Structure 1
Amino acid sequence: MFDIELVSILLPAFVAGLLVLSTHVVLGQQVLKRGIIFIDLAIAQVAALGAIVSHIDHDIEQLPFSHVWMPALFALAGAGVIAWMATKFKGELEAFIGCFYVLSAVGAMLLLANDPHGAELLKQLMSGQILWVSWSQLLLPAIVSALILAAIAIKPDLLDGISFYFLFAMVITLSVELVGVYLVFSTLILPALALNKYLGKAKLALAYGVGVIGYIFGLALSASYDLPSGAAIVATLAISALLFRMTISRINQSNAEVTR
C-alpha cells in the first residue's frame, strides 16, 4: 500500500541528501587529493561547537538565525586556523588537523557536561536527524550549494588555493545542521574513495551515483526497520562505495590483462 505520510517524510530527507551530495562529492575528491582526510571531521566538529555555544548562551540563542550564523562563524574560524596550519606544518598537517578535531570534540563535551539536554543535543549534532528535515530548512542550503557549485564551475582554481578551506567551511556548516557530523564525513569521503582508482571520464558522475544509491537504500532501511537514519545511511554508503570499488578493481584488472 502506498503510504503518503511516509513519502512526505522521506522526500525532503532525500532532497536534503541530494543537496549534501551536490557539493560534498566535488569537495571530497579534493580532500582525498590533498590527503587531508580529517579536515571534514574537524570543520564539522567546530561548526557543531558553534551550535553548542549558541544553545547554552541564551542571549545568543534568542538572536535571529543564530543556529546558522554561529556555527558558520566557528567553521570559518576553524578553516582559517587550518589554512594557516597548511602553510606552517605541511609535512604534519594531517596530524595537526586530527588534534584540532579532538580538541573541538572535547570542548563540546565539556560545554555540555552540566546541561540536562546535553547528551541529546550532542547525539543530534553527531548523528543528525535527516528524517525530520522540513522543506523550509532546505531553502538556504539549496541557495548556498547552487552558488558554490556555480563559483567552482566558473573558477575551478578556487579548489586549489586557500579559498578551498573557506568554501569547505560554508558547505560543512549547513550540512551538519541537516545530516550531522558522521554523515557529513561519510558523504565526503566514501564516494571519493570508491572512485579514487577510476581513470575514466565519468568519475564525478559515478561518485554521485555511489552517494545517491547509498542515500536511497539508507533512508529505505531506516524507514522500514525504524533504525537511526544517519547510521543507516552511513552503512549503505559504505556498502555502495565498497561494491563500486570492487567493480572498478576488476575492470582495471581485466583491462591490464587485455593490454598485456
Structure 2
Amino acid sequence: MITLFFNVAILLLALVMIHSYFGIRILKKGIVFTDLAIASMAGFGIAFSIVFVDCCYTYHFSFLFSIIGAVIIALMINKTKHIEAFIGLLYILSSSATMIILASQGTEHFNEILASDILFTVNIYESVFIYLCVGAVLYLTRNSKYSEWIFFIALAVTVTSSVNVCGVLVVFSLLVAPALIALNQNKYPPYILAIVLGTVLAFISLIGSFYFDLPTGYSIAFVYAISSVLFLITKRVF
C-alpha cells in the first residue's frame, strides 16, 4: 500500500507541475477551453478505439485525435473572431461524438473517459517520463519562432497521456483550478503557487477518496473545482 501511494504521489506531482505551466499559459492567452477541447478529442480517440478496434491502440488513437484538435486550434487561433466560442464548439463536437459512438457500450466507458481511478494507473513512470520530455522541449524551444506550434503540440502530447491516466474532467481541473487561483493574487509567483496549491489539493483528494471509498478521479475534480470557486467568491466578497 505504501508503494502504491508513493508511486501515485510521484505521478500527481508530475501532473500538477506540467499542467500548472500549461494552465497559466492558456489562461493568459484567454483560450481556456483549449485544454478541455483537446482533452475531449483525446477522449474521443479512446472511445473510437474501444468501439472500432476492440480497445487496441487506445493511446495511439487518443494521441492522433488530440493532435488533430491541437492543429485545428493552432490554425484558427489568429484567423477566427471569438475563438473561444469556436473552441467550445470543438469540445461539444468531440464530447457528443464520444457519447454517440459509446451509446451501445453503456455508460461505464464514458465515465472512465471523464474521470478514471488514478490509484490503479499502471504506466506511472512512463507518464512521468513523457512530462519530463515535454518540459525539456518547451524549455529548449522557448525562443523558437515556432514556439506557438510547439506549445500546442506539447499540450496535445501531455493531454493524451493525462486523459489516459486520469480522464478528461481531472485534466481540465488540473489545468485550470490552480492556475486560476494563482493568477488572481499578487503575493506569490503564479507558477510556484499553482504547484504548491495543486499538490496540496491533489493529496487531500487522494487521501479523502481512499478513506471515504470515493472515486478518486471525481474526488480530484470536485476538490479542485470547489476550492477555486470558493477562493474567487471569497476574494470578491471580502
TM-score, with length taken from structure 2: 0.90
Does structure 1 residue 175 correspond to structure 2 residue 162? yes
Structure 2 counterpart of 1:163: 150
Please list the CA deviations of residues 216-243 of structure 1 after superposition, one character each: whole Å capped at 9, or x if unmatched: 1001110011111112112322354467
Within a 5 Å distance, the mapping from 1:53-68 to structure 2 comes to 53-58=48-53, 61-62=55-56, 66-68=57-59
Q: Is the 8 A contact 2:179 2:190 kept in 1?
A: no
Structure 2 counterpart of 1:139: 125
Structure 2 vs 1, CA of residues 201 and 153 (structure 1 numbering), >3 Å: closer, same or farther? farther
Deviation at 1:10, TM superposition (A): 2.8
Which runs of no fewer than 5 residues in structure 1 stay unpaired? 254-260
Please list the CA deviations of residues 84-124 of structure 1 after superposition, one character each: whole Å capped at 9, or x if unmatched: 221321x3100000001001111011111122xx4111100
Deviation at 1:8, TM superposition (A): 3.8
Structure 1 counterpart of 2:61: 70
Within a 5 Å distance, the mapping from 1:200-211 to structure 2 comes to 200=187, 202-211=189-198
Does structure 1 residue 34 correspond to structure 2 residue 29? yes
CA distance in 1, matches of 2:53, 2:23: 35
* Stretch of structure 1 that moved more, 192-201 or 234-243: 234-243
* Stretch of structure 1 that moved more, 172-181 or 149-158: 149-158
Structure 2 counterpart of 1:258: none
* Stretch of structure 1 that moved more, 152-161 or 118-127: 152-161
Q: Is the 8 A contact 1:213 1:240 kept in 2?
A: no
Within a 5 Å distance, the mapping from 1:213-232 to structure 2 comes to 213-232=200-219
CA distance in 1, matches of 2:71, 2:53: 27
Structure 2 vs 1, CA of residues 83 and 44 (structure 1 numbering), >3 Å: closer, same or farther? same
Structure 2 counterpart of 1:51: 46
Note the aligned Cα RMSD (angstroms). Answer: 2.3
Does structure 1 residue 127 correspond to structure 2 residue 118? no
* Stretch of structure 1 that moved more, 233-242 or 31-40: 233-242
Structure 2 counterpart of 1:16: 11
* Stretch of structure 1 that moved more, 158-167 or 31-40: 158-167
Deviation at 1:43, TM superposition (A): 0.5
What secondary structure sits across from 1:162 in the alignment?
helix
Query: How many residues get paired?
Result: 236
Q: Is the 8 A contact 1:145 1:171 kept in 2?
A: yes
CA distance in 2, matches of 1:45, 1:195: 25
CA distance in 1, matches of 2:233, 2:97: 39
CA distance in 2, matches of 1:72, 1:30: 21
Which of residues 94, 99, 116 in structure 1 aligns to 2:89?
Answer: 99
